[in-house]
A and B are shown apart, each in its own frame.
Chain A
Amino acid sequence: MNIYAVRAMYAFEMARTARTLMQSIVAPVISTSLYFIVFGSAIGSRMPTVGGVSYGAFIVPGLIMLSLLTQSISNASFGIYFPKFTGTIYELLSAPVSTLEIVVSYVGAAATKSIILGLIILATATLFVPLRVDHPLWMLAFLFLTAVTFSLVGFIIGIWANGFEKLQVVPLVIVTPLTFLGGSFYSIGMLPPFWRTVALFNPVVYLISGFRWSFYGVAEVGVGISLIVTLAFFLVSLIIVGWIFKTGYRLKT
């Protein structure tokens, strides 16, 4: 591993984050707070508990996941799309760095940013609802794994995209619906049987379920399955990224 190179790329990406602190941290915190006010307080006060957890507390892991997914994807996709768009990618391609080093740095920076964000949202949530975290290490593990996996997905999107529309389209058309339908705001047990079966094909269900389990010890699906699905997601993304660099797909002419 070219340690100086990885450090330089990572630090440069993090500096970019610092420069855009407003949009990258403050905006999601505001929107999450709005969710709490609307769903948690306004609606939640009229809702029964879900699996013994108050509705406001129940949606916290889902909300964090929602932000984690969308932010990981947008951070990472912009992070690599932007150099392609401005042309500064030439430097990356001409540098003596390996695929792995580029991925570690860019995906690492994007994931770092969304993990920080997730923790900030978690902290924000404590202002609104009483929270408890039964399995903090598992919570961090799911946070980490999800952030890294979806940063990889974002990285792939950023490389695949050849315009800003494409950059928006995957998060908008696929990820956001999957997250909303993945049980961020409800337990899939509340769904009619048919839709419950459909929901089980949504990988985000497993991420949210596992993550929620680490908070309250209750899960829609076994935590082991959640972990396996998350890891599988991670590996598939990793393989695609490896293939992209091997072939120079959309990076080299």
Chain B
Amino acid sequence: MRVHGQSETDGMTYSYMQTILKIDNLSKVYASGFQALKSVNLDIHKGEIFALLGPNGAGKTTLISIVCGIANASTGSVMVDGYDIRRNYRAARSLIGLVPQELTTDAFASVWATVSFSRGLFNKPPDPDHIEKVLKSLSLWDKRRNKVITLSGGMKRRLLIAKALAHEPRILFLDEPTAGVDVDLRRDMWKLVRGLRESGVTVILTTHYINEAEEMADRIGVMRAGELILVKDKVELMQDLGKKRLSLLLQDPLRQIPKELSMYPLELSPDGSELTYTYDTQAERMSIVGFINRLGDMGIEVRDLRTTQSSLEDIFVNLVKE
């Protein structure tokens, strides 16, 4: 469904769950015969920041390329704000800005010229004020007269972002925007992306820095070998992330978890020598104390203990392995 011309006030809340990008059953077989995407289904909500994670070769770039019109899908459909990317490619593509993974820029044109070109290419009338704003927001204003070839790698990355923003897209794809970008700039970039979201832009980014996804994303999708294996709200995922495990090595193995301890979230290792208590970091501090006291009361002796915390990275690594 499409709703045009929303006011600022109803925009944020009302439109939040509106689907702006709908990917159905998308598959891609490259000419080599390699299947890079296997029936991917994904709905992107208007105004969200969506992080697409996955190991090298998972198919992230392929997915983005199809949506943006750079690669042809083998089967399936993509709708951008209600417009089919093939039948209504003009309307669909006008809404999209793309920052590619590879640093591909003209060499000899000036920064100003190449960003202005991008705006024109998307059939927008020249707007020097907008270009100025974009260049300033990416700290490229001082470089506007420089030839692209004289920019550093991180500056080129920002130039690509400036080019993608030149035509005021409603959906921005950032394919590894922070690869090769220093820590300060990375934080600036996060700020910029949040600013874009604030102004109603939907952002889809890929990254290999899990903490970046943690920092930025509203939702997270994980790809593996051409399949989208998980799409989840970050907060929910963080709840998994927030889990801590307290492992107790017992002096004498237990046969089973004693009835008296059944109210605790416990697991017993198969050999009965290790008792694992899984708990939420935010809450239940008190019940750990209670639990340990209880063990003492019951005469269960603990030889050693350790705590572990699963990070998003752990979850991610577990998800994508094998």
Q: A86-B104, A88-B106 are in contact. Are A97 and B121 (CB under 8 A)?
A: yes
A96 lies within 8 A of B90 (CB): yes
Residues in B neighbouring A95, C-beta threshold 8 A: 93, 121-122
A94 lies within 8 A of B120 (CB): no
- Could you tell me which residues of chain A, from 51 to 81, have a CB within 8 Å of some CB in chain B? none
**Told that A19-B108, A91-B163, A97-B123 touch, could you supply 16 new A-B pairs with CB distance under 8 A?**
A2-B90, A4-B120, A4-B126, A5-B123, A7-B120, A87-B102, A87-B104, A90-B70, A90-B100, A90-B104, A94-B69, A96-B90, A96-B123, A252-B69, A253-B31, A253-B71
Partner of B69, one of A4, A8, A93: A93
Q: How far is the CA of A8 from the CA of B126 in the complex (A)?
A: 10
Residues in B neighbouring A93, C-beta threshold 8 A: 68-70
Residues in B neighbouring A136, C-beta threshold 8 A: none
A8 lies within 8 A of B70 (CB): no
Query: A236 interface residue, CB < 8 Å from B?
Result: no
- Could you tell me which residues of chain A, from 84 to 108, have a CB within 8 Å of some CB in chain B? 86-88, 90-98
Interface residues of B (CB under 8 A from A): 30-31, 65, 68-72, 89-94, 96, 98, 100, 102, 104-109, 113, 116-126, 163
- Give the 10 A-B residue pairs with the shortest CB-CB distance, closest first: A8-B120, A87-B104, A2-B123, A96-B93, A96-B90, A94-B68, A5-B123, A95-B121, A4-B123, A96-B94
Q: How far is the CA of A184 from the CA of B140 in the complex (A)?
A: 52
Query: A115 interface residue, CB < 8 Å from B?
Result: no
Query: A189 interface residue, CB < 8 Å from B?
Result: no
Q: How far is the CA of A2 from the CA of B93 in the complex (A)?
A: 13
Interface residues of A (CB under 8 A from B): 2-5, 7-9, 11-12, 15-16, 19, 86-88, 90-98, 248, 252-253
Shortest distance in angstroms between B317's beta carbon and chain A's nearest beta carbon?
30
Q: How far is the CA of A7 from the CA of B108 in the complex (A)?
A: 19
Shortest distance in angstroms between A108's beta carbon and chain B's nearest beta carbon?
15
Shortest distance in angstroms between B116's beta carbon and chain A's nearest beta carbon?
8
Q: How far is the CA of A249 from the CA of B60 in the complex (A)?
A: 23
Q: A94-B70, A95-B93, A252-B70 are in contact. Are A4 and B125 (CB under 8 A)?
A: yes
Q: How far is the CA of A156 from the CA of B118 in the complex (A)?
A: 24
Q: How far is the CA of A248 from the CA of B98 in the complex (A)?
A: 19
Partner of B121, one of A9, A16, A248, A253: A9
Q: How far is the CA of A252 from the CA of B105 in the complex (A)?
A: 19
Q: Which residue of A12, A86, A92 has the most chain B CB atoms within 10 A of its CB atom?
A: A12
Partner of B118, one of A7, A91, A96, A97: A91
Closest A residue to B125 using CB positions: A4
Q: How far is the CA of A84 from the CA of B271 in the complex (A)?
A: 62
Q: How far is the CA of A97 from the CA of B124 in the complex (A)?
A: 12
Shortest distance in angstroms between B201's beta carbon and chain A's nearest beta carbon?
16
Q: How far is the CA of A94 from the CA of B61 in the complex (A)?
A: 14
Partner of B93, one of A15, A86, A94: A94
A5 lies within 8 A of B122 (CB): yes
A87 lies within 8 A of B91 (CB): no
Shortest distance in angstroms between A100's beta carbon and chain B's nearest beta carbon?
12
A252 lies within 8 A of B104 (CB): no
Q: How far is the CA of A2 from the CA of B167 in the complex (A)?
A: 14
Closest A residue to B116 using CB positions: A8
Residues in A neighbouring B163, C-beta threshold 8 A: 91
Residues in B neighbouring A253, C-beta threshold 8 A: 30-31, 65, 70-72
